[in-house]
Amino acid sequence: MSRSEWRDHDWRLIHAAPQPPLLHMALDEALLTEVGAGRRPPTLRLWEWAAPAVVIGRFQSLRNEVDGEAARRHGIEVVRRISGGGAMFIEPGNTITYSVYAPLSMVEGLSFQESYALMDAWVLEALRELGIEAWYQPLNDIASAAGKIGGAAQTRRGGALLHHVTMAYDIDAAKMLDVLRIGREKLSDKGTASAAKRVDPLRSQTGLPRAAVVERMLDTFRRLHGLADDSLREEEQVQAQALVKDKFGTDAWIADVP
Amino acid sequence: MHGEYKMPGGKLVVMDLALRDGRLADVRLSGDFFLEPDTALPAIDAALEGRPVASDDATLAAAVEAALPAGTMMYGISVEAILVALRRALHEGAHA
């Protein structure tokens, strides 16, 4: 078995100024491709959001998931990401989102569940250090006794795995339920009647500002796995901008599953 | 017609379709599941498109299995779950 470990890799951090939702979608594809091709070292990217958004999963129906009229009314852009999983409701100050672009060698021979658990472990440790007892809840949630904290999604491309996570720092549940169509069937085995109750934000559990939570997360990653500051390269930005124009910003992509 | 099935221990599997001349039409699978490669999704839709509505589950399952790209990986979804969502959509349609 030749599975590699976190410390076998030279981890880089990208934590750029706030970027628009479509560019985030494109950066995930561009950076996954670069890591998969061996042109970029394995990377952790911490997202900062420039605008509110609903991010739907690769296989979700646009019409079934999003109330388009409500989204327009609230000025919320709807974008589609490259990974499966469910819709995320994003407001810039309320959300902590990050991507791990890892070599596939790290998950060689692992089941999907083991792969999610492996990629979530450092953030569970960071949450523990912040006083939150959280765990990986299969298939793809990060949960605490007070409720769901976040959700993960993975996809693979070339030689790399993308594992990205959105956690709720705070949440406007009324607005979320206005924009997302969360069906009864989806909640049928969650043991709760209220979708709003499903998410318990980090703000109430830590009492810390969002930036402090992010800083603590990065500290934990750095201590456990090593992490050197890095930035987007010119060609990566060009590639991502092209992907916005030719793919992520097109109706063909956003309504690919209408 | 629209059918949804939350696979136990899995994700939401949704089927939207119409019936034309006794055959499945405009078949569209969706949901918050994980599927690699992503081209498996249109392959599944195409495998069901045009099948007689009277087809049994074994026939439809075999058609879907045969259409999946080599090495397709499913997480939170299965061929069985797709057929449950399909049956629910057809059942709902029958009462519409």
pLDDT digits (tens, 9 = 90+) for A76-126: 999 999 999 999 999 999 999 999 999 999 999 999 999 999 999 999 999
Categorize the per-residue pLDDT at A190 as very low, low, confident or very high, splitting at 50, 70 and 90.
very low
Q: How far is A86 from chain B (nearest CA, A)?
A: 5
pLDDT recorded at residue A191: 41
* Smallest Cα distance from B77 to chain A, Å: 11
- Domain extent, residue A248, equals 6-252
pLDDT, average across residues A182-210? 68
Of A139, A155, A257, nearest to B11 by CB-CB distance is: A139
Of B5, B6, B34, the CB nearest to A85: B34
The C-alpha atoms of residue A170 and residue A253 are separated, in whole angstroms, by: 29
Instruction: Return the pLDDT at A81.
Output: 98
* Cβ–Cβ gap A156/B36 under 8 Å: yes
> Does B1 touch chain A if contact means CB atoms closer than 8 Å?
no
Our count of domains for chain A comes to: 1
CB-neighbour burial class of residue A106 (10 A; exposed 0-12, middle 13-18, buried 19+): buried
- Is A94 part of any domain? yes
Distance from CA of A237 to the nearest CA of B (A): 25
Chain centre to alpha carbon of residue B31? 11
> Does A122 fall in a domain?
yes
CATH topology of domain B2-94: Enolase-like; domain 1 (3.30.390)
Q: Domain map of chain B by residue range?
A: 2-94
What pLDDT score was predicted for residue A186? 60
Label residue A41 by pLDDT band (50, 70, 90).
very high
Q: What residues 26-55 of chain B have any CB closer than 8 A to a CB of chain A?
A: 28-36, 38, 41
- The CATH number that applies at residue A248 is 3.30.930.10
Q: Quick check: A83 and A55 in contact, CB under 8 A? A: no
Does residue A141 lie within any of the structural domains?
yes
Residues 6+ apart with CB under 8 A from A111: none
Q: What is the pLDDT of residues B11-22, one digit of tens each?
A: 999 999 999 999
Instruction: Answer yes or no: is A234 within a domain.
Output: yes
Q: Is the pLDDT of residue A193 over 50?
A: no
Nearest residue to A120 via CA among A93, A148, A142: A142
Chain mean pLDDT for chain A:
93
Question: Distance between CA A43 and CA A163 in Å, rounded?
Answer: 11
pLDDT tens digits, one per residue of A217-246: 999 999 999 999 999 999 999 999 999 999
When comparing pLDDT for A183 and A238, which is higher?
Answer: A238
Burial degree of B5 (CB within 10 A; 0-12, 13-18, 19+): buried
Which of B2, B14, B88 to probe by mutation at the A interface, max A CB count within 10 Å? B14
- Calculate what percentage of chain A has a pLDDT beyond 70: 93
| Band (B96; pLDDT cuts 50, 70, 90) | low
Domain assignment present for A231: yes
pLDDT at residue A1 tops 60: no
pLDDT of residue A174: 86
Mutate to test the interface with A, among B1, B12, B26 (most CBs of A within 10 A): B12
Whether B33 and A138 lie within 8 Å, measured CB to CB: no
Strand positions, DSSP E, A2-140? 12-14, 43-47, 53-56, 77-80, 88-90, 95-103, 134-137
Which residues are within 8 A (CB) of B56 and not within 5 positions of it... i.e. 6 or more apart? none
* A153 located within any domain: yes
A1: in domain: no
Residues contacting residue B82 through CB under 8 Å, at least 6 positions apart: B13, B15, B29, B44, B64
Return the residue in B17, B34, B45, B88 with the most chain A beta carbons within 10 A, the one to mutate for interface testing: B34
CA distances from A117 to A13, A87, A103, A174, B54 (A): 21, 21, 16, 31, 43
Compare all CA atoms of chain B with the CA of A83 and give the residue at the minimum distance. Answer: B34
CB A177 within 8 A of CB A195: yes
B63 touches chain A (CB under 8 A): no
What ipTM describes this predicted complex? 0.96
The overall average pLDDT reported for chain B is 96
**Residue A42 belongs to some domain of the structure:** yes
Higher pLDDT, A22 or A174: A22
pLDDT of residue A202 exceeding 60, the answer is yes
In the prediction, which pLDDT does A192 show? 40
pLDDT at position B94 is 73
Mean pLDDT of A4-9: 98
